[in-house]
Amino acid sequence: MDFFRYQDGELYAESVPVKQLAQTYGTPLYIYSKATLLRHVQAFKEAFAGRDGLVCYAVKANSNLAILQLLSQQNIGFDIVSGGELARVIAAGADPHKVIFSGVGKTEEEIEMALEAGILCFNVESAMELDRINLVAGRMGKVAPISFRINPNVDAHTHPYISTGLKENKFGIPVESALAEYQRAAKMEHVEIVGLDFHIGSQLTEISPYIDAIKALKKLIRQLYAAGIKLHHLDIGGGLGVTYSVEAPPLPNELLNAAYAELEDLFDDVGTLQVVVEPGRSIVANAGIFVYKVEFTKDNLGKKFAIVDAGMNDNIRPSLYGAFMNIITVEENPEADLELYDVVGPVCETGDFQGKNRQLRVRPGDFLAMRGSGAYCSAMASQYNSRPKCAEVLVDGDKVHVIRERETYEDLWAKEKLLEQE
């Protein structure tokens, strides 16, 4: 069931009319459906079908505290990439023992924070990072659990900016140097090897790149075991795509069944490893819509624009990746003419658009809703053009929770200081 649906010509979020939310909380506005979020988490949990697995939600996709709180109440773990994300998941009630720390540039301060919190493991992305973790853990009298993020050099068939598993991408260490790094780590006093990890990209719509990566890494895992290095888990990353228009990505159980099938002979030989997944987008994207108001329409010598009150600062995906995101009207509007519009924002950039060449029936004052906006939209928002970050609400049946208040103008400069006058 789709929890964002039309009823009598009007869009609803669960049991609440979206227009009512837009009028009450102001636009632009992010609206999330609790039931959709929970359903997606459940789909991942059930995909393990009783096998030993751990879902670690990738916080970067949507780091709203209430959303993290809801997710941690489902007893899942988290994939974090910064000290800020660690602070957030702890504030949201996460179990630190289910937190994994990815990212190519971990600072000493972040490593200290993570060791203090007692995370499940660091996904180490370079030789220098390994040295740094060993050093910091030694200084603190601790042993850091580590996994290496291996770059298997496979093509994820996705947008180049969100492909992470090719050798020209900055992520992970090459398969070719992995055995030597594991052997180096095995001799270190302040690290303990617990796993192996890959994450090859985001918005993957096929299973085959995951299987290519697993194939590439099975040989390495056998070499590790032959060298006496045992693992507790294998982390196959996140990246499962969602439907923005016509994509038909695999479901979590299809992905995991295919992964387990490919791993069967390995697990027969070395024993079963826990499988970890790091989904972000597939949990939150379609649990959210982004609602904005048409301020004006305009016709530049035949080119029509719908100028809305949301900018690239609020949702940068269309501008940054040329991402297509579906835009629908909040109320069906049979009396307005059907026209081809570029839906553009108020930010002073030609690249400030939410959608191009969209067939819409709109008039000034109408609300539009953008589907699939739960992931990498609010999370990537900025205050460019001194635009306050907008509000976010979570709908639970007929209840509405404000999970982020709209920023005020004063919030914009709250951390800035005027010069002292002499």
The interface partner of residue 63, options being ligand PLP, ligand LYS, none and the CB cut-off 5 to 8 Å by kind, is none
Q: Considering the rule CB under 6 A, would residue 378 count as an interface residue with ligand LYS?
A: no
Which amino acid, 30?
Answer: Y
The interface partner of residue 317, options being ligand LYS, ligand PLP, none and the CB cut-off 5 to 8 Å by kind, is ligand LYS
Residue among 156 and 360 whose Cβ is closer to ligand LYS: 156
**Binding flags for ligand LYS, 203-222, as an x/- string (CB under 6 A):** x-------------------
Q: In whole angstroms, how close is the CB of 278 to ligand PLP at the nearest point?
A: 4
Rounded-to-integer distance, Cα 373 and Cα 328, Å: 13
Instruction: Give the C-alpha distances (Å, rounded to integers) separating 212 from 154, 170, 218, 236, 262.
Output: 7, 19, 10, 11, 10
Residues near ligand PLP (CB under 6 A) are: 58, 61, 79, 102, 164, 199, 202, 237-240, 278-282
The helix (H) or strand (E) run that includes residue 180 is helix 175-186
SS3 of 109-142: the string is HHHHHHHHHCCCEEEECCHHHHHHHHHHHHHCCC
Residue 278 touches which member of ligand PLP, ligand LYS, none, C-beta under 5-8 Å by kind: ligand PLP
- The residues facing 353 across adjacent strands are 344
Q: Which of residues 63, 123, 134, 202 is near ligand LYS by CB under 6 A? A: 202
Whether 348 sits among the annotated catalytic residues: the reply is yes
Give the DSSP per-residue string, 343-362.
Answer: EE-SSSSTT-EEEEEEEEE-
Least distance to ligand LYS from the beta carbon of 62, Å?
A: 11
Q: Which does 79 bind (CB under 5 to 8 A by kind): ligand LYS, ligand PLP, none?
A: ligand PLP
Residue number with CB closer to ligand PLP (103 or 345): 103
Residue 67 or 188 having the CB closest to ligand LYS = 67
Residue 292 marked as a ligand binder? no
Q: How far is CA 156 from CA 124, 163, 204, 205, in A?
A: 21, 6, 6, 9
Total of residues contacting ligand LYS (CB under 6 A): 7
321 labelled binding-site residue = yes
Binder of ligand LYS out of 144, 162, 175, 369 (CB under 6 A): 162
211 membership: H or E segment, kind and range: helix 208-226
Q: Which residues pair with 241 in a beta bridge?
A: none
H helix runs in 227-275, sequence order? 252-270
* Residue among 222, 148, 214, 152 at smallest CA distance from 186: 148
Here the tokens at position 371 are 């589907």
Say whether residue 376 binds ligand LYS (CB under 6 A): yes
Name residue, tokens 């995370």: 119
- CA–CA dist 73, 64 (Å, integer): 14
* Contact present, 66 and 102 (Cβ < 8 Å): no
Assigned token pair, 20:
């009512």
| Residues sharing a CB contact under 8 Å with residue 73, sequence separation 6 or more, in sequence order | 93
In the bound state with ligand LYS, the residue whose beta carbon lies nearer, of 202 and 205, is 202
Q: How far is the CB of 238 from ligand PLP (least distance, A)?
A: 3
Partner whose footprint covers residue 238, from ligand LYS, ligand PLP, none (CB < 5 to 8 Å by kind): ligand PLP
User: Nearer Cβ to ligand PLP, position 164 or 378?
Assistant: 164
Known binding residue 280? Answer is yes
Burial group, residue 246, by CB count within 10 angstroms (0-12, 13-18, 19+): exposed
Q: Which does 126 bind (CB under 5 to 8 A by kind): ligand PLP, ligand LYS, none?
A: none
For residue 420, what is the DSSP state? Answer: P
Residue span 302-341 as binding mask against ligand LYS, x where in contact by CB under 6 A, dash where not: ---------------x---x--------------------
Using the minimum distance from each CB to ligand PLP, give the nearer residue, 16 or 173: 173
Distance linking the first and last C-alpha atoms of the chain: 65
Contacts of ligand LYS in 43-62 (CB under 6 A): 60
Residues between 96 and 115 that touch ligand LYS (CB under 6 A): none
Question: Which candidate in 121, 348, 377, 390 is catalytic?
Answer: 348
| Binding-site sequence positions | 239, 278-281, 317, 321, 349, 376
| Binding-site sequence positions for substrate | 281, 317, 321, 349, 376
Q: Which residues are catalytic?
A: 348
| Binding-site sequence positions for pyridoxal 5'-phosphate | 239, 278-281, 376
Binding site for ligand LYS (CB under 6 A): 60, 162, 202-203, 317, 321, 376
